[in-house]
Structure 1
Amino acid sequence: MNRRHALKALAGLALCPVCAHAADAAHWSYEGDTGPAKWGDLDAADKVCGIGTQQSPIDIENPTKARLPDPKLSWSRTADTIINNGHTIQLNFADGSSTLKLGDTTYKLVQMHFHRPSEHQIGGKNFPMEAHFVHRAESGRLAVIGVLMTTGHPNPVFAQIVSTMPPQEGPAVKADPRIDPNVLLPARRSYYRYEGSLTTPPCSEVVEWLLLTNPISVAEADVAKFAKLYPMNARPVQKLERRFVLQSA
Structure 2
Amino acid sequence: MMRKTTFVAGLSFLIMGYGAYSGEHWSYHGKTGPEHWGDLKPEFIMCKIGKNQSPVDINRIVEAELKELKISYRPGASYLVNNGHTIKVSYGKGSYLEVDGTKFELKQFHFHAPSEHKIKGKLYPFEAHFVHMDKNGNIAVIGVLFKEGRKNPVIEKLWKNISSKVGEKVKITDKINAYDLLPKKKRYYRYSGSLTTPPCSEGVRWFVMVEEMELSKEQIEKFRKLMGGDTNRPVQPLNARMVMKQD
TM-score normalised over the length of structure 1: 0.91
1: distance between equivalents of 2:114 and 2:31?
Answer: 21
Equivalent of 1:207 in 204, 208, 214:
204
Q: 1:36 — aligned with what?
A: 34
Equivalent of 1:136 in 116, 133, 136:
133
Do the aligned residues in 2 keep the contact of 1:39 with 1:201 (CA within 8 Å)?
A: yes
Aligned residues: 240
Q: 1:68 — aligned with what?
A: 66
1: distance between equivalents of 2:20 and 2:29?
Answer: 18
2: distance between equivalents of 1:237 and 1:10?
Answer: 27
Equivalent of 1:58 in 35, 42, 56:
56
CA shift digits 1:156-175 (9 cap, x unpaired): 00111122212221232211
Q: Does residue 1:159 correspond to 2:160, yes or no?
A: no
Helix, strand or coil at the partner of 2:156: helix
Q: CA 1:154–1:135 in structure 2 vs 1: closer, same or farther (change >3 Å)?
A: same
Do the aligned residues in 2 keep the contact of 1:157 with 1:178 (CA within 8 Å)?
A: no
2: distance between equivalents of 1:207 and 1:116?
Answer: 21
Letter in 1 for 2:35: A
1: distance between equivalents of 2:13 and 2:193?
Answer: 16
Q: 2:75 — aligned with what?
A: 77
Q: Does residue 1:122 correspond to 2:101, yes or no?
A: no
Q: 1:247 — aligned with what?
A: 245
CA shift digits 1:43-69 (9 cap, x unpaired): 011000000000000001141010112
Deviates more, 1:142-151 or 1:223-232: 223-232
Equivalent of 1:225 in 222, 226, 246:
222
Q: 1:14 — aligned with what?
A: 14
Letter in 2 for 1:238: Q
Do the aligned residues in 2 keep the contact of 1:91 with 1:111 (CA within 8 Å)?
A: yes
Do the aligned residues in 1 keep the contact of 2:38 with 2:45 (CA within 8 Å)?
A: yes
Unaligned stretches of 5+ in structure 1? 1-6
Q: CA 1:89–1:38 in structure 2 vs 1: closer, same or farther (change >3 Å)?
A: same
Unaligned stretches of 5+ in structure 2? 1-6
TM-superposed deviation, 1:195: 0.2
Q: 1:187 — aligned with what?
A: 184
1: distance between equivalents of 2:21 and 2:225?
Answer: 24
Q: State the Cα RMSD in Å.
A: 1.7
Q: CA 1:211–1:18 in structure 2 vs 1: closer, same or farther (change >3 Å)?
A: closer
Q: 2:213 — aligned with what?
A: 216
TM-score normalised over the length of structure 2: 0.92
Deviates more, 1:172-181 or 1:31-40: 172-181
Do the aligned residues in 1 keep the contact of 2:154 with 2:180 (CA within 8 Å)?
A: yes
Do the aligned residues in 2 keep the contact of 1:88 with 1:113 (CA within 8 Å)?
A: yes
TM-superposed deviation, 1:9: 8.3
Letter in 1 for 2:21: H
Helix, strand or coil at the partner of 2:189: strand
Q: Identity over the aligned pairs, expressed in percent?
A: 42
Q: CA 1:63–1:8 in structure 2 vs 1: closer, same or farther (change >3 Å)?
A: farther
Do the aligned residues in 2 keep the contact of 1:117 with 1:127 (CA within 8 Å)?
A: yes
Deviates more, 1:99-108 or 1:112-121: 99-108
Greater fraction strand: 2
